[in-house]
Structure 1
């Protein structure tokens, strides 16, 4: 056995793939290039499923990283329940806010500046109803995805960040319940989640493209599905089953995604991530190998995801000003929107996300109580998320 488990490299690369999937989906809404892709058109047209990958991945990574909320091991002699102290809750929520809020706030302010500049130049946004004061306040408090907003307001991809924030608030309770019961209950929950998703899919009109007012229905079962992976992975990780689950999940994801069966695509996403996590848990090398470029894109993925709507707005306004149609200049539209998204993402990561996280880590470290001795080297390291 290795003395220390490797970094979650594969899951970081998955973040890049999920962000790219969502981006290509939104690009296709303007350019309609999926019409030329034949059987692969369904994968592009259902690129919103990348958000489902993020929801599952969030539950997995939080459960892997934050074990301070776990229930005591009932096999121990002294198994009295000691709830996590308030400081642990505050540190957890502080870390989560430092991860998501600075970039979210920066994108709101960028959009506000763009609108102010456009107003001064006499340029009205294409959809002015997106930019109301009430929606701005909801975005400031990260509640726009809790059933309050029914329209793609301001930086519209941030609805999923708001929804994930609700998941973060519930995470300590979910972690306590999942670890209080034995792994068999977690396995049963993993099985039950998918029929529940099937019911949501059916009553939503055979789609999981649920956002804003219905976003929590999409998040909660997928978030829990990600959490239970950590509980059940160790029971199977030392067997070679991880490769079969990973390959089967990837094949199901491609096939069922092309067939546009959303709930089955979620199952494929779950299997793919579960196979990768079992591979990690068994201390094997990354399935995707060492890919520095893809790893960097994974680290950039949150800023990229939060930037594309601003780039889209600017590109659409430019084309309107020039009197061009995106479908007539597909390559140019795609090039401008992609370039602007990457530029904004790199700037946000370098000047907002990383400094904010470093500052939060210093602040939280100052307020943290004295820590116990470091855990044995065989325990799982902190993830990058």
Structure 2
């Protein structure tokens, strides 16, 4: 079997378990971000809510898996079939996918802070909106060991780490292709993760998968590589067995969180969950396809929606004296509010932006390939 055939067994299935997982991962990240704003902090209710960093780690692994399934065959394929993509071209495509929407959301953040400041409303957490931290956010370098607390649109530290992963992906995927056994490459990836995790704990006292956001490269790259290498594993198991494995892995992760702190075992089960969801194949779930499309917008927009939502809630609470169960209802409604805002952002900002960018890219490519006029 050829190298290309070995590395590109089955592409990414849409409208199935993977799309659903992308949305659930984004939703858990939202829940983690709003946990402390509940009438009683969820972190105080059960320690499991304080392990929301696992949702972000899962998102990073899932990103590596999805990217490998989507672009892996194209990176290795013949150039006359759209393959052999250069690192520069690949990075350009990925930046055009994430950066425009990121800049729009950051502009909305800045507008919100300026408008509320102009009318005399101070932010509840001013440390999140330091102007010195805005330039690293604009250029998505805040996870590249930039000093200071990461504020503004805080979740985008993962995009900052992923940019480096994107830059290294074509070379890493081609290097991986030289090793025949996918199990060998996965073992190397696990060893890399454990070595980095242990080194971080020795140096900082914190495992790599929990490091502060400014060390996002150390945290993100090994997890992304793990997801990428899981995508190499053969997916020849029956869809029904894959569904059972996915359910078993998901239940196992939840059970571990109830039982105690078992991060490495939880990450292993999350890796199994990604593999099983990928092997599950297409389900024809239109709603899951929509959820998958919303995951990026939900990830990108939830921080600003939460700031606005809980700012309004604080104002209403002080004026109307809302208390008890109604406070819990108002807090819980933040989740559907974030999903609704993500749908609006995807529908009216992100999707139109990508349509415009694709049109511009085609024109740019055509202009470069046209012969010069004499």
The TM-score range, normalised by the shorter chain, is 0.7 to 0.9
Partner of 2:59: 54
| Match for residue 24 of structure 2 among 17, 37, 59 | 17
Partner of 1:271: 272
Partner of 2:188: 189
Conservation of the 8 A alpha-carbon contact between 2:197 and 2:209: no
What's the TM-score once normalised by structure 2's chain length? 0.80
CA offset at residue 360 of structure 1? 2.3
| Match for residue 351 of structure 1 among 335, 339, 348 | 348
Distance (Å, rounded) in 2 between the aligned partners of 1:71 and 1:181: 17
What's the TM-score once normalised by structure 1's chain length? 0.78
Partner of 1:309: 303
Match runs of 1:249-260 below 5 Å: 249-258=249-258, 259-260=260-261
Match runs of 1:106-121 below 5 Å: 106-121=104-119
Distance (Å, rounded) in 1 between the aligned partners of 2:44 and 2:134: 38
Distance (Å, rounded) in 1 between the aligned partners of 2:67 and 2:118: 44
In the alignment, does 2:38 pair up with 1:28? no
Conservation of the 8 A alpha-carbon contact between 2:15 and 2:289: no
Conservation of the 8 A alpha-carbon contact between 2:15 and 2:288: no
Distance (Å, rounded) in 1 between the aligned partners of 2:176 and 2:363: 31
Could you list the per-position Cα deviations for residues 167-207 of structure 1 after superposition, in whole angstroms to 9, with x for gaps in the alignment?
Answer: 11221121121112222531322442553365268444368
Partner of 2:70: 65
Conservation of the 8 A alpha-carbon contact between 1:194 and 1:267: no
Q: Secondary structure at the match of 1:166?
A: helix
Taking a change above 3 Å as real, the CA distance of residues 65 and 99 of structure 1, as seen in their structure-2 partners, is same
Q: Secondary structure at the match of 1:219?
A: helix
Distance (Å, rounded) in 2 between the aligned partners of 1:172 and 1:191: 20
Distance (Å, rounded) in 1 between the aligned partners of 2:30 and 2:69: 28
Taking a change above 3 Å as real, the CA distance of residues 125 and 185 of structure 1, as seen in their structure-2 partners, is same
Match runs of 1:71-220 below 5 Å: 84=84, 88-183=86-181, 184-193=183-192, 195-196=194-195, 199=198, 202-203=201-202, 204-205=205-206, 208-220=209-221
Could you list the per-position Cα deviations for residues 250-269 of structure 1 after superposition, in whole angstroms to 9, with x for gaps in the alignment?
Answer: 23311223323222221111
Partner of 2:229: 228
In the alignment, does 2:342 pair up with 1:342? no
Partner of 1:246: 246
Conservation of the 8 A alpha-carbon contact between 2:198 and 2:207: no
Q: Secondary structure at the match of 1:251?
A: helix
Unaligned runs of 5+ in 2: 1-9, 367-374
Could you list the per-position Cα deviations for residues 54-89 of structure 1 after superposition, in whole angstroms to 9, with x for gaps in the alignment?
Answer: 1111111111121333399xxxxxxxxxx946xx44
Number of residue pairs matched by the alignment? 344
Distance (Å, rounded) in 2 between the aligned partners of 1:30 and 1:326: 15
Could you list the per-position Cα deviations for residues 208-235 of structure 1 after superposition, in whole angstroms to 9, with x for gaps in the alignment?
Answer: 333422212221111111111222224x
**Bigger mean CA offset, 208-217 vs 336-345:** 336-345
Could you list the per-position Cα deviations for residues 38-64 of structure 1 after superposition, in whole angstroms to 9, with x for gaps in the alignment?
Answer: xxx344332232111211111111111
Could you list the per-position Cα deviations for residues 7-29 of structure 1 after superposition, in whole angstroms to 9, with x for gaps in the alignment?
Answer: 36211110111111111222221
Partner of 2:327: 330
CA offset at residue 342 of structure 1? 3.0
Unaligned runs of 5+ in 1: 73-82, 370-385
Taking a change above 3 Å as real, the CA distance of residues 237 and 327 of structure 1, as seen in their structure-2 partners, is farther
Conservation of the 8 A alpha-carbon contact between 1:130 and 1:154: yes
